[in-house]
Amino acid sequence: MYKQFFSLKQSPFSIAPDPRYLFMSERHREALAHLLYGVGSGGGFVLLTGEIGAGKTTVCRCFIEQIPPDCRLAYIFNPKLTVEELLLSICDELRIDLPPAPAGAVSVKSYVDAINRYLLASHAQGKNNVLIIDEAQNLSADVLEQLRLLTNLETSERKLLQIILIGQPELRAILARPELEQLAQRVIARYHLGSLTEAETASYVAHRLAVAGGGASRPFPRSLMGQVFQLSQGVPRRINLLCDRALLGAYVENSREVTRQILRRAGSEVFSGGARAPASRMPWQYVAAGVLGTAAIGAAAAWQLRPAAELVAAQAAPAPLTAVALAAVAPPVAPVPRAPVAPLTHASEAAALHALSALWGVVLPAGASCDDALKLNLRCHQGKGGLYELRLLDRPAVLTLRDGPVVSYALLTGMDESTVRLNVDGREQTLDLGALATRSDGSFVTFWTMPRYFRDQVSAGEQGADVDWIASRLAKINGLVPPPADRPLGAPTLELLRAFQTRQHLKADGVAGPRTYMRLNQLTGVAEPRLLAAGATGKP
């Protein structure tokens, strides 16, 4: 109704999960990294929770698009099932053939046996299997226990079924019950999606308008973003509902901008008690009454997600694979007991940073911090995406490890598809990825190099030596002639920068920050330590 009035090509605030509106923020990457990391960590449970409308389903859909090709996927979106119905749904999703059964209901044992045979055969073919259950807070205790039992099938290296549970915050409380302790111990990664900050809310609104073809149209003044945040509470779906109704109100009042009064009225209509209704009614309220009648279903395509979670790992209790089960695909193999390995660690973060600096060819003084590193042209980058994000950044780092209340720090110097390498005082240790994941909380610190006078990030219109450096590096990568020095970061370079960020799976916002600097360094030959396919020292 209002698209032509505001020169828009599409409705910018639809609550349908349209992939065109995907916004690859750092927060979205962290949630996605936890899911992808969980899939490659050797089986068990991965937990993704968030408030209603926070974007859990949208993150899940993005994950499904990026799932490795050797994974077979089963997706269950209606978990209000009995144990038998759940097992049948799994068989249907994975296309597992069930043996002929006598008249009457198929037994739980028949389903489980068929699933076990399938998982063993799939493992023999080098395939992984992933089961995703949405709205998992609706699972009964009996069904959760049956899911735990399904993860008992394992080899000496990994479990044969990876289960991802996606649900509302009460799912965390459910798994904290004493009777579900065994399942909770098998959760190798968990992440909670919180609401957006005020700044993230403003970026989210601007992004959706730009994707919808807003161009020069700015129907939401910057001064209104605090009110949008307050009324929506930073929840993406609520932002969509509020902004859609506000645009409708501005259209009816023939206003090219949403005013505070229009926004307040929109809030009073779409949120029960979300804003105080005005004393007098305006005509557009009646026009808007029939709009968004079906807005209670769907998922918001919201990607700038504020982190409110941590990567928590726990060793899963081993359940030996029986010789009878193994005989279905291979000769019997005696299970090998595996004692837990205590990784090489530093007692303090400062000690680990001191060791990390040596990989960059400098030596931080004892007890030094990130501020001290800056004096040596080393800048700290702190992340929360764990080993998955470090694989993307391709650089050694200090990991934070937790064993109950005890916190220690490991220097990660190398990584391949299934193992990691740690180093302390010249002593090297190789561990399974899964073994390290049981101790890592997902946070890390790494270094990146840049002249001290460079800014941590630069954006459109700024100029200086750092802008010249970025422009010349982008030109080199694209085989172009570098632009003259001391030019502002203008449209041609911004276009190259966004294209580069998109290719490198970075946030394509045209702002050069630490991740962009890191990749520009790596792709233009700056000598920095590498994590992948590197020696134990981590040097390139």
- Domains, the chain, in order of start with CATH, read 21-193 (3.40.50.300), 197-288 (no CATH), 341-449 (3.90.70.10), 465-512 (no CATH)
Q: What is the rounded distance in angstroms from the CA atom of residue 59 to the CA atom of residue 55?
A: 6
Asked if the model's pLDDT at residue 540 lies above 60, the reply is no
Share of the chain above pLDDT 90, in %: 29
pLDDT at 307 over 70: no
Per-residue pLDDT for 369 more than 90?
Answer: no
- In this predicted structure, the answer to whether residue 358 has a pLDDT above a threshold of 70 is yes
For 132-149, what is the mean pLDDT?
93
Distances in whole angstroms, Cα of residue 381 to Cα of each of 95, 199, 350, 514, 516: 45, 21, 15, 7, 12
CA nearest to 305, candidates 419, 222, 196: 196
Which residue, among 455, 493, 454, has the nearest Cα to 477 in the 3D structure? Answer: 493
The answer, yes or no, to whether residue 78 has pLDDT greater than 90, is no
Beta bridge partners of 407: 402
Closest CA to 295 of 362, 341, 246, 237: 237
Q: How far is CA 511 from CA 145, 518, 525, in A?
A: 47, 13, 22
Asked if residue 371 has pLDDT above 60, the reply is: yes
pLDDT of residue 202: 87
Q: What pairing do the DSSP bridges indicate for beta strands 427-432 and 419-424?
A: antiparallel
With beta carbons less than 8 A apart as the criterion, state whether 307 and 441 touch.
no
Give per-residue pLDDT as tens, 503-513: 776 777 888 98
Q: What percent of the chain has pLDDT over 70?
A: 78
